[in-house]
Amino acid sequence: MPARGRAPAREGGAVSGEVSQASERIAKRLARAGISSRREAEALIAAGRVRVNGAVLSSPAFNVGPGDRIEVDGTPIPVIERTRLFLFHKPAGVVTTNRDPEGRRTVFDCLPEGLPRLMTVGRLDINTEGLLLLTNDGGLARVLELPSTGWLRRYRARVHGTVDAEALAGLSQGIAIDGVFYGAVEAALDREQGSNAWLTLGLREGKNREVKNILGALGLDVTRLIRISYGPFQLGELGEGEVLELKGRLLRDQLGERLIEESGANFEAPVTKPFPNRPVRAGNEPKAPAPRSAAPRVEEGGLVRNRKRTRERQREEALDRLQTARPPRFGDKRAEKRPDDKKKETPARPRSSNVWMAPGARPVGKGGLSSPRQGEMSPPGSGPLPARRQAPATAGAGKGRAPARKKAGKPGGPTPPPASGRTLPPRGREKPAPRKPKKD
């Protein structure tokens, strides 16, 4: 084993002191792999817990290449993951740090499970809430924190006191407080309610307690502070304590080529720990699907499960659920229709008495068309009606009077047919003969 402090042997990597295009500092590589931060990596190296190609490192001033084997406590570091960025709605009363010596709750205690090792982009005070960016790439976090990036950060502040509109407008020129100069601040009054007011502020530097110090210099006491945006990334409707990952394509478009080059972001590496593309809160993490076993499943009766037969049965059940016909109920008297049953012919129903008929229209009976009544016309196309047969005159009949007819059967009943067998048409109402005028 090589002695400590000596440069370890290389396998295609850069020698200590040389810097190649693909090489980087050992602390940066450990931070990208999610082992620790850069400061913690230096402490690991000083403790002799880091090996490169089997040699123990004693100084963090060492560059490694993509072909070097790096171990921490004898375990190889994981593969470098793709650069990722998460949006987190930080609640109030949470400290923005990895570990708090006072034992207070940190932002990493509020994160759901299944996330890679993350670091914060900047910080928020313990009582400040709102948008906080998290990333797994230390180079990207460092670039986004710099004021030279020029990203605007917007806040909404609830203040107590009297708001001076001229003093707010003067913040666009910057302000010096206790020997510290704060750059231009965009400030606007949203609304006032009694002695309280809501303000919207935009700044680009992000110094420690910048908003509270500036508004305090104007005689305003900040009672609530919410960060609503960080550059192009908005808080929107993200709930308190929820985390949302940005898609890789969206992240590349928002960063641009310059920031990607300055940060050294890697969008070609794989994702080792996928995260759902929706807001997730701690305690509501999605459950991982159960792994499928290669052994065949045995159903009831000792039958081996056939996947093809199972899929066909599932398809038939799905088609049955789409049927709109009502299934037969228990005790239903109606017989089920079968495809081999012949359709029974039902006789035509006769006309009922409540059918409306036009004036002059009469129904057709079994004996054919009936004779029209007085004042009615014969149906078109029926031809001339048969001539009426006159009954023979009887003795003693008065002159000018119609011969008497002998009615058979019950009064109002049908007239019996003659002996010849010919059916006579029914007699209608006879028209009385016109009277001759009397001569004076």
Q: 125, 164, 221, 341: which is the annotated catalytic residue?
A: 125
**Fold for domain 85-263?**
Pseudouridine synthase (3.30.2350)
Express each pLDDT in 109-127 by its tens digit: 999 988 888 889 989 999 9
Express each pLDDT in 342-359 by its tens digit: 555 555 555 554 455 556
pTM (whole model) above 0.85? no
Q: Is 130 helix (H, G, I), strand (E, B) or coil?
A: strand
CA distances from 184 to 158, 177, 189, 277 (A): 20, 13, 16, 37
- Identify whether the C-beta of residue 95 lies closer than 8 Å to the C-beta of residue 79: no
CATH of 1-80, one of 2.102.10.10, 3.10.290.10, 3.40.50.300, 3.40.47.10: 3.10.290.10
CATH 3.10.290.10 residue ranges of the chain are: 1-80
Name the more confident of 357 and 94.
94
Candidates 126, 204, 198, 212; CA nearest to 157 is 198
Candidates 246, 237, 210, 205; CA nearest to 225 is 210
Maximum mean pLDDT: which of 138-147, 223-232, 355-364: 223-232
**Residue 78 above 50 pLDDT?**
yes
CATH 3.30.2350.10 residue ranges of the chain are: 85-263
**Whole-number Å distance between alpha carbons of 220 and 222:** 6
Q: How many residues does the chain have?
A: 440
Q: Find how far residue 170's CA is from the centre of its chain.
A: 46
Express each pLDDT in 216-240 by its tens digit: 999 999 999 999 999 999 998 999 9
Q: 262: burial class by Cβ within 10 Å (0-12, 13-18, 19+)? A: middle
- Identify whether the C-beta of residue 248 lies closer than 8 Å to the C-beta of residue 270: no
Largest Cα–Cα separation, the chain:
170
Instruction: Give the DSSP per-residue string, 147-190.
Output: GGG---EEEEEEEESPPPHHHHHHGGG-EEETTEEE---EEEEE
**Residue 144 above 80 pLDDT?**
yes
Q: Is 109 among the catalytic positions?
A: no
